[in-house]
Chains A and B, each alone.
Chain A
């Protein structure tokens, strides 16, 4: 959609919308005036006692649809604001939405001279927030979350308490010092204000961290903290609220102890409710196999109920929904049909995204209201200052403490990002708006300040986060460029360290976690998962399944090109040349930030291009060009682009708007495949002796490896499920078109690999080699799943003429390896 139609559409909507709001005012005012005057004749809204003189063909029934209409219209307008993304390059989007809110608020205010539409705390807490938190809980990367839970809790609890206390006390000190003029406010109210302002907001944090790619540990810390600090916030808020009502004199040790106890009760109570609802959901999905359409809906309903239940019991509702999502995701995803799982995921994202948009827009709209604004320069500026400063102090101190126990310390830059990323958001505003103004006389001041702080953090800090990070990263790079071998070694060291961690066992990998895994596997899975789902849990099996799908896709693609021996390049080369071509273009455009931590550089565009297998005609010409390229730049650049990422650099695994953000999963697959290949190679060559024999010069590496890998997988699963595997052997599809090109083969992996890929038959051709009987493995195809994709693989499997005693032997030896 181009700019002009979009603008006109929006304008028409806004005009209609303001008309309606005017009409609304008219109706309500006429309604109220008629009510007060008691004259029915001026009442134009339908009053059943009004007599009609003739049959009305059409009547104006505004009052019937008023509320839902306005709601729907607002939702529509908010979501339309998102269209302006591409028009104005504004990062992050939350800032843009707030500004849209300002504009809309201005329009409404212009029409009504009063702000009729505000972000009501009740609407916010009951209708806009729960789905966002459910979404975050449902998509939470569990392993990462729980392994960092200690650090997250430290930040959430201690950090928030510190923030609340420090800000409150400092402001009080400044007030006493006279920096704010005359206010009707006391220490307790300052502490209350501090507590509602202390909490880092999950909505705002996600919105910003999506733009700035940070490593996963940092991400999960900030993210987890923003979710879990709700427990603390709720407690502090309620405690100080109660204290304010009690009055300062009645606070003694007993009350304080009660406050501390209430913290534990609220947090653990909320979490337990969430877990209880998660169990209910999992159990339910176990039995809803027959009602697949509706089973997706249960998650939402029960998630919402968990929120409301916790709220009803005055426990922490956010914690409840979070743990509900976190605990149920595994079982629900296993129990439900694939389509239902997809439906749930998409629906969650729609709701969460939609709510988030609305929240930010309304945050903007609410500002355009002259009633709430009380401007006190000292108060506002000092608040912002203290909020930021104490956040920095808190984060740095706590991280310093935590670093002493960490395998890899969190670096200063990450700590900076963490501190800077402590954004406040709508939750703070909601809490402020729900203050009781009879008890807290300066409610408007508090609301104004909260709004200013929220705008400041979301807009300004959000805007500057990305450039700041980039600038810091650049500063960090060593002034003299590292040599290639050093870079390679650096990355290799990261891999080595990760491996050593795994070998030596991480700190978390101890009796506790192993015991829990055992308990979970035996009892909980039995209780909460469908029997079929339990069997399919096997990790290896899922990889196998994915490979089958891949094979199937390749098979079809190949079939289209078949018959053409003039097909000069195999699929691999085609892809890569495409990559080279784009590598060239990109190299000019991209800033030369030679970073290992891969902060701001977005690899995504390259990846998506690479996956396209559009053969380019002028491949040769490109190759010539490459040789003339500046080799220096190319090599460093290539390295930086293509080195596998180590655990340290994996991207964060959660995104509000994107499903496939976890690219590292593809890498992991690749690495896993390769490892399997090479293991198989070495194993086989050890077993069978290397038979040099004929060299097959036309073997591009990947194809034989894929074949070998699949065979390997077969043996794996075969031995594991030997009971179930039917002994049906499929005959391979002999492909005469490709046979002549092959010599009589020894198993290809035993020959020396030629890197000559000038003229290569397609990948698929390799797979149809008839195997000699000395060839190992299975070939008892897998009959576990009845998914149609498997049939492709069956068809390709060569005849099963082999010694049956070999496979079980190999299989059993390898069996223990992957479970």
Chain B
């Protein structure tokens, strides 16, 4: 696969990327190779069609949302730094990081992971998961046999449990609160991206 350092030289702004995302050079190189494999037409950027081409992704119930998460604000191109930034969310949380109050949270902090998940549900980006959005997510993730009534009852119950300020929607804070007992690091990290 070529030596790490020579491939690293090919990646533009490698140093900044590593600083920002926390990936090691080896990982960055690996991801760059993967980026090039996905980019079949050698355009230099990825399009949604390239993601669609990943066969296993089609078996995922929420694949469209996930692909959408890469292409924020409706753009059709994804360059390497953005690709890496999204994947950086899934690095395991670095427990030994010293807590500097002035510097911003690293991409893979717990709250940023939660934000990423939240954005998957909140498609219209208004900061709340409305009942309608929740219904859509549930519909995607539940089997075909579930009726509309059952779906709506689940959605109602979900909002009822999590909604504290009674606005019939789940804000990010309410979302975060509902998940305080969940080990997000475990649930949203990919080991080998450490």
Q: Which residues of A contact B (CB under 8 A)?
A: 405-409, 478, 480, 482-486, 488-505, 507, 511, 539, 572-573, 575-577, 579-580, 610, 623, 626, 631-632, 634-636, 638-639, 642-644, 667-668, 670-672, 674-676, 678-679, 682, 702, 755, 757, 813, 816-818
In the docked arrangement, what's the CA distance between A644 and B190, Å?
Answer: 21
- Given contact pairs A496-B117, A502-B56, A675-B58, A667 touches B158 in the complex (Cβ within 8 A): no
- B140 at interface, CB cutoff 8 A: yes
User: Do A495 and B141 touch (CB < 8 A)?
Assistant: yes
Q: Are B49 and A817 in contact (CB under 8 A)?
A: yes
CB distance A497 to B90 under 8 Å?
Answer: yes
The verdict on B138 contacting chain A, using a C-beta distance below 8 Å, is: yes
Label chain A's interface by main secondary structure. helix
The listed residue (B59, B141, B144, B190) touching A500 by CB distance below 8 A is: B190
Tell me, rounded to whole Å, the shortest Cβ–Cβ distance linking B127 to chain A: 16
Contact B141 A644 (CB under 8 A): yes
Shortest beta-carbon distance, A399 to chain B, in Å? 14
Residue of B nearest to A675 (CB): B58
Top 10 A-B pairs ranked by shortest CB distance?
A635-B157, A484-B158, A493-B187, A502-B56, A505-B34, A483-B161, A485-B162, A642-B143, A576-B147, A817-B52
A644 touches B61 (CB 8 A): yes
On whether the beta carbons of B150 and A672 are closer than 8 Å, the reply is: no
Known: A485-B162, A675-B61. 7 other contacts (CB 8 A): A486-B181, A499-B66, A623-B149, A638-B154, A639-B142, A678-B64, A813-B49
Residues of B within 8 Å of A818, CB to CB, are 53, 55, 58
Contact in complex: A486, B178 (CB < 8 Å) = yes
B27 — nearest CB in chain A belongs to which residue? Answer: A504
Contacts of A674 in B (CB 8 A): 61, 140
A-B contact pairs, 9 of them (CB 8 A): A485-B158, A485-B178, A486-B178, A499-B66, A575-B145, A610-B145, A638-B153, A643-B142, A813-B49
Determine if A497 and B188 form an interchain contact, defined as CB atoms under 8 angstroms apart.
yes
Interface residues of B in 1-48 (CB under 8 A from A): 1, 30-31, 34, 37-38, 40
Chain A residue contacts of B149, Cβ below 8 A: 623, 626
Q: Interface residues, chain B, CB within 8 Å of chain A?
A: 1, 30-31, 34, 37-38, 40, 49, 51-64, 66, 87, 90, 117, 120-121, 137-138, 140-150, 153-154, 157-158, 161-162, 170, 175, 178-179, 181-182, 187-188, 190-193
Residues of B near A505 (CB, < 8 A) are: 30, 34, 37
Interface centre among B34, B143, B182 (most CB of A within 10 A): B143
Q: Contact check, A488 vs B146: say whether CB atoms are below 8 A apart.
A: no
CA A492 – CA B65 in complex, angstroms? 11
Chain B positions within 8 Å of A503 at CB level: 38, 51, 54, 57, 66, 87
Cβ contact of B117, chosen from A406, A407, A489, cutoff 8 A: A489
Q: Which of B90, B150, B188 contacts A638 (CB 8 A)?
A: B150
Of A408, A501, A679, the residue contacting B64 (CB under 8 A) is A679
User: Are A539 and B87 in touch, CB under 8 angstroms?
Assistant: no
Contact between chains at A671 and B61 (CB < 8 Å) = yes
| Chain A residue at minimum C-beta to C-beta distance from B170 | A485
From A406, A495, A498, A500, contact of B87 by CB (8 A): A500
Given A406-B191, A499-B60, A505-B37, A642-B145 contact (CB < 8 Å): yes
Most A C-beta atoms less than 10 A away, residue of B120, B121, B147, B158: B147
Cα distance A405–B76 in the bound complex, in angstroms: 35
In contact, A484 and B161 (Cβ under 8 angstroms):
yes
- Asked if B178 and A493 make an inter-chain contact with CB atoms under 8 angstroms apart, the answer reads no
Residue of B nearest to A670 (CB): B144
In the complex, are the beta carbons of A580 and B141 less than 8 A apart? Answer: no
In contact, A671 and B120 (Cβ under 8 angstroms): no
Chain A residues with CB under 8 A of B61: 495, 644, 671, 674-675
Q: Residue of B at shortest CB range from A496?
A: B66
Closest to B69 in A: A496
Contact at A816–B40, with CB atoms within 8 Å? yes
Cα A579 to Cα B144 with chains together (Å):
12
**A490, B145: Cβ atoms under 8 Å?**
no
**A495-B187 Cα distance, complex, nearest whole Å:** 10
Count chain A CB atoms within 10 A of each CB in B64, B137, B144 and give the residue with the most: B144
Q: Which residues of B contact A755 (CB under 8 A)?
A: 148
Chain B nearest Cβ from A734, distance in angstroms: 29
Docked CA distance A497–B146 (Å): 25
Q: Which residues of B contact A579 (CB under 8 A)?
A: 145
Q: Are A817 and B182 in contact (CB under 8 A)?
A: no
CB distance from B113 to the nearest CB of A (A): 9
Contact across chains for A644 and B143 when beta carbons are under 8 A apart: yes
Contact (Cβ within 8 A) B191 A407: yes
A783 to B154, CA, bound (A): 45
Nearest-neighbor residue (CB-CB) of A635 within chain B: B157
* Cβ distance A662 to chain B, nearest Cβ, rounded Å: 13
The interface residues of chain A lying within 8 Å CB-to-CB of B117 are 489, 492-493, 496
B87 to chain A: which residues have CB within 8 Å?
Answer: 500, 503-504
The residue that A489 contacts in the complex, of B51, B54, B90, B179, with Cβ under 8 A, is B179
Contacts of A511 in B (CB 8 A): 1
Known: A483-B178, A495-B61, A817-B52. A757 touches B190 (CB 8 A): no
Across-interface contacts of B147 in A (CB, < 8 A): 573, 576-577, 580
> In the complex, are the beta carbons of A492 and B137 less than 8 A apart?
yes
| Nearest A residue to B162, CB-CB | A485
Known: A580-B147, A672-B58. A486 touches B182 (CB 8 A): yes
Q: Bound state CA distance, A470 and B55, in angstroms?
A: 35
Instruction: Provide the residues of chain B in CB contact with A572, threshold 8 Å.
Output: 144
Query: Closest Cβ of chain A: how far from B29's Cβ, in Å?
Result: 12
Q: Give Cα distance in the complex from A484 to B156, angstroms.
A: 10
Q: CB distance B188 to A493 under 8 Å?
A: yes
- Minimum CB–CB distance from A610 to chain B (whole Å) comes to 6
- Give the distance in Å from the alpha carbon of A500 to the alpha carbon of B120 in the complex: 14
Cα separation A493 to B179 with both chains bound (whole Å): 12
- Whole-angstrom CA separation of A407 from B188 in the bound complex: 11
Cβ–Cβ contact B143 & A635, under 8 A: no
Chain B contacts of A406 at CB under 8 A? Answer: 191
How far is B182's CA from A379's CA once the two chains are assembled, in angstroms?
48
When chains A and B are docked, how far (Å) is the Cα of A500 from the Cα of B108? Answer: 14
CA of A495 to CA of B137, assembled, Å: 12
Q: Which residue of B lies closest to A702 (CB)?
A: B144
The residues of A that contact B154 with a CB separation of less than 8 Å are: 484, 635, 638-639
